[in-house]
């Protein structure tokens, strides 16, 4: 997400290797692009000394790659919630999103609407604030749609507004708990929502967005010198920031795909394999990437953004279900076939439910495949756990 011309499609293309339209003018992307990107995590196969047969994910040189859906949205400008620019249909795209990655032009070389301006002349903090404000106004619009009816109904039933609003917002993955927390943070009366002023309703919406839709800022175009100060300032403003150079990542991944260099997304460096296939210009371009991006920031940041979105923002951990705790296999004998991303704090029984609802109903206990110890239903899963669920019915994992 983000304003036009910041590099969203470049980021998307680099992360998914899908070919999409990229150009140096605003509103290049008109319809959202969808693709598969991968989260990287060290696989437990190395530690456990086994050769694995991944099914729901990939394992390359001891690194698990977990597929996630990535959506590249059209550019968003001020007034989008009222239909300005390409309108608000792409705000609809974020309904199903778990995490929002907001790209900004850290080099400050595009104005509010994505038109080119001299590098360093636009403040990227404005890019992020604009996104938040538009998002909030759009969400406020959704909440207001039914507000009269909802609040009247809640009051006459003497029920908290969260019970009623929850239904309206469930398509956005906003839960009753999110709503209650926002109300509590602001000290509003959940039983008297009819009496909230417009201002209170806006504050409530803001707080609700902050709680339910946390975002990560990809400070893009970090290959440019102008970006350095701005990245500091974005961090000082309190945002979770990853410096990125989507353009560098795209170049490296394409070169790696062609077999010219050895590079895995997230790596701090690359190795030239077939220098004879590179022109002088390409060689210089790769050198620039090394100098301006990899040496300066440690990586291109694209992989780190995706990883941070799941591991830090959403606080997920990888867990490996198996059916045979001795051999670490599923019923077909495949070693460590699956790896799931689950929220930290997930219990053994909740994990069973994620695999199959029946499994949770008939749950008896779980086994830690490393220690072969029995785990009760309330056991809280840890990062990299290899777990067998023992259930009463025939269906087992």
Ligand X SMILES: Nc1nc2c(ncn2[C@@H]2O[C@H](COP(=O)(O)OP(=O)(O)OP(=O)(O)O)[C@@H](O)[C@H]2O)c(=O)[nH]1
Asked if residue 27 binds ligand X (CB under 6 A), the reply is: yes
- In the three-class reduction of DSSP (H, G, I as helix; E, B as strand; rest coil), residue 353 is classed as helix
Please identify which residue in 10, 41, 303, 346 interacts with ligand X, judged by CB under 6 A.
Answer: 10
Buried b (16+ CB within 10 A) or exposed e, 300-337: bbbbbbbbbbbbebeebbbbbbbbebeebbbeeebbbb
Stretch that binds ligand X, among 26-34, 55-63, 157-165, 310-318 (CB under 6 A): 26-34
Is residue 224 part of the contact set for ligand X (CB under 6 A)?
yes
- d(C-alpha 96, C-alpha 73), whole Å: 13
Of the two residues 209 and 221, which places its CB atom closer to ligand X in the complex? 221
220 in contact with ligand X (CB under 6 A): yes
Return the residues of window 257-286 that contact ligand X according to CB under 6 A.
none
Residue with tokens 């008896």: 364
Interface with Mg ion (CB under 5 A), residue from 9, 57, 244, 307: 9
Q: Which region among 8-16, 124-132, 203-211, 234-242 touches Mg ion (by CB under 5 A)?
A: 8-16
Taking the CA atoms of the chain, what radius of gyration do you get in angstroms?
Answer: 24
Best CA proximity match to 114, nearest among 4, 261, 226: 4
Using CB under 5 A as the binding rule, the residues of this chain from 19 to 38 that contact Mg ion are 28-29
Stretch near ligand X under the rule CB under 6 A, chosen from 5-13, 147-155, 234-242, 260-268:
5-13
DSSP string, 56-96: SSEEETTEEEEEEEEEEPPP--TTGGGT-TTTTTTTGGGGG
How far is residue 392's CA from residue 365's CA, in Å, rounded to a whole number? 9
Q: Does 246 bind ligand X (CB under 6 A)?
A: yes
Member of 17, 18, 22, 214 binding ligand X (CB under 6 A): 22
Burial of residue 49 (CB within 10 Å: 0-12, 13-18, 19+) is: exposed
Which residue is it, tokens 């069973």?
352
Binding-residue total with Mg ion (CB under 5 A):
4
Question: Using CB distances below 5 to 8 A depending on partner kind, what does residue 10 bind out of ligand X, Mg ion, none?
Answer: ligand X
CB 100, CB 215: distance < 8 Å: yes
Residue from the set 1, 15, 16, 29 that interacts with ligand X by CB under 6 A: 29
Q: Does 6 bind ligand X (CB under 6 A)?
A: yes
Per CB under 6 A, 5 contacts ligand X: yes
Nearest distance from residue 293's CB to ligand X, in Å?
8
Tell me how many residues contact ligand X (CB under 6 A): 24
Q: Which residues bind ligand X (CB under 6 A)?
A: 4-10, 22-24, 26-29, 74-75, 114, 220-221, 223-224, 245-247
């Amino acid at each position: 997400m983000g304003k036009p011309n910041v590099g969203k499609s470049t980021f998307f293309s680099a992360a998914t290797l899908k070919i999409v339209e990229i150009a140096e003018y605003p509103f290049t992307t008109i319809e959202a692009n969808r693709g598969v990107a991968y989260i990287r995590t060290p696989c437990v196969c190395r530690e456990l000394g086994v050769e694995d047969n991944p099914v729901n994910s990939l394992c390359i040189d001891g690194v698990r790659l977990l597929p996630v859906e990535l959506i590249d949205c059209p550019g968003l400008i001020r007034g989008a919630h009222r239909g300005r620019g390409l309108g608000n249909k792409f705000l609809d795209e974020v309904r199903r999103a778990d995490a929002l990655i907001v790209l900004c032009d850290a080099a400050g070389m595009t104005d509010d609407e994505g038109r080119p301006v001299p590098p360093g002349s636009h403040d990227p903090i404005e890019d992020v604030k604009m996104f938040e404000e538009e998002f909030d106004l759009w969400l406020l619009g959704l909440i207001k749609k039914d507000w009269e009816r909802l609040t009247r109904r809640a009051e006459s039933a003497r029920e908290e507004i969260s019970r009623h609003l929850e239904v309206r917002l469930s398509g956005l993955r906003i839960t009753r708990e999110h709503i209650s927390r926002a109300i509590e943070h602001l000290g509003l009366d959940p039983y008297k929502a009819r009496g909230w002023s417009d201002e209170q309703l806006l504050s409530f919406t803001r707080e609700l967005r902050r709680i339910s839709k946390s975002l990560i800022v990809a400070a893009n175009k970090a290959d440019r010198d102008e970006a350095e100060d701005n990245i500091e300032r974005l961090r000082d403003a309190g945002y979770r920031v990853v410096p990125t150079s989507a353009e560098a990542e795209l170049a490296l991944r394409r070169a790696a795909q062609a077999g010219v260099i050895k590079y895995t997304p997230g790596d701090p460096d690359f190795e030239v394999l077939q220098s004879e296939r590179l022109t002088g210009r390409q060689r210089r371009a790769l050198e620039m990437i090394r100098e301006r991006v990899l040496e300066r920031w440690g990586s291109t940041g694209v992989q780190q953004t995706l990883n941070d979105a799941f591991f830090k923002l959403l606080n997920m951990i990888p867990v490996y279900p198996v059916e045979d705790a001795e051999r670490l296999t599923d019923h077909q004998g495949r070693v460590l076939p699956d790896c799931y991303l689950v929220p930290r704090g997930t219990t053994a029984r909740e994990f069973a439910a994620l695999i199959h609802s029946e499994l949770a109903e008939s749950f008896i206990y779980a086994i830690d495949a490393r220690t072969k110890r029995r785990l009760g239903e309330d056991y809280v899963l840890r990062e990299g756990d290899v777990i067998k669920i023992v259930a009463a019915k025939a269906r087992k994992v």
